[in-house]
Chain A
């Protein structure tokens, strides 16, 4: 895109974000939200107020009181376009349901610079979120691993 890549952030600044905790807070999935999400997947709404598991991307992020944009900024992303997905790991211990208020928390669990033999340098940053039921039982844990690519694409 038109914007120039930013200078390579110091590796120490990237490593220093490990342990950063988001404020956390409650999150309730409303029926409209589940309905629209489920429609986006091409599926029918699930029975008994069950929330489609695709919610496990944004619910932990927003419930932790952060945003995708803030997560990009935390790793000093060159731009919105510079992020690559390494993996999403979703552990589901209990089905999530509409209108239940869950307690959500999240933190940065890893941040390392990677210099591959070929291709761009990137910072591999891993976020982990937990979603607990009102009784405190862990309902889900998600781990997002993104690559913050540095410099121009070759």
Chain B
């Protein structure tokens, strides 16, 4: 697989973030925070009647993008920050670009900048990823 600095990773689209997936996730995570399943709790916090997506779910959209690009199991490190929340109903696109390509222990790796895109200058999650490139 070829990769070079500046390459854009093919985007991955979540057409609409669905609240029922947050509820399933909350149950699996044993996450007591009502902001992920109670729209009234979100409304009281000023987010309107829309539940807040779990951080790991937003992060998973970038995992899906990277897997589609370089194959399942390609990620060796993922570092993510969460400047803004993702809400149910949001249309979210995972994006990324290659910032470095290097060789280590006989394997090739790509360092990438990755982020979620909700619109112009609206990037609720931003981070970096290291990818083991397939031969």
Partner of A52, one of B22, B63, B77, B79: B63
Check A93/B76 contact, CB under 8 A, given A43-B67, A54-B56.
Answer: yes
Is A68 touching B63 in the complex (CB atoms < 8 A)? no
Check A47/B72 contact, CB under 8 A, given A39-B21, A92-B77. Answer: yes
Do B32 and A69 have beta carbons less than 8 Å apart? yes
- Stretch binding the partner chain, chosen from B1-9, B33-41, B100-108, B113-121: B33-41
Number of B residues whose C-beta is below 8 Å from A?
A: 37
Indicate if the CB atoms of A37 and B41 lie closer than 8 Å.
Answer: no
Q: B3-17 CB contact bits vs A (8 Å, 1 = yes)?
A: 000000000001000
Given A36-B24, A52-B63, also A87-B81 (CB < 8 A): yes
**Chain B residues near A89 (CB-CB < 8 A):** 77-80
A sample of 13 inter-chain contacts (CB < 8 A) reads A33-B28, A39-B21, A40-B60, A41-B64, A50-B72, A54-B63, A57-B29, A58-B29, A80-B35, A87-B79, A88-B80, A89-B80, A90-B78
**Chain A residues packing against B (C-beta within 8 Å):** 1, 33, 36-37, 39-43, 46-47, 50, 52-54, 56-58, 61-62, 67-69, 72, 80-81, 83-93, 95
Q: Which residues of B contact A (CB under 8 A)?
A: 14, 21-22, 24-25, 28-35, 41, 44-45, 54-57, 59-61, 63-64, 67, 72-73, 75-82, 127
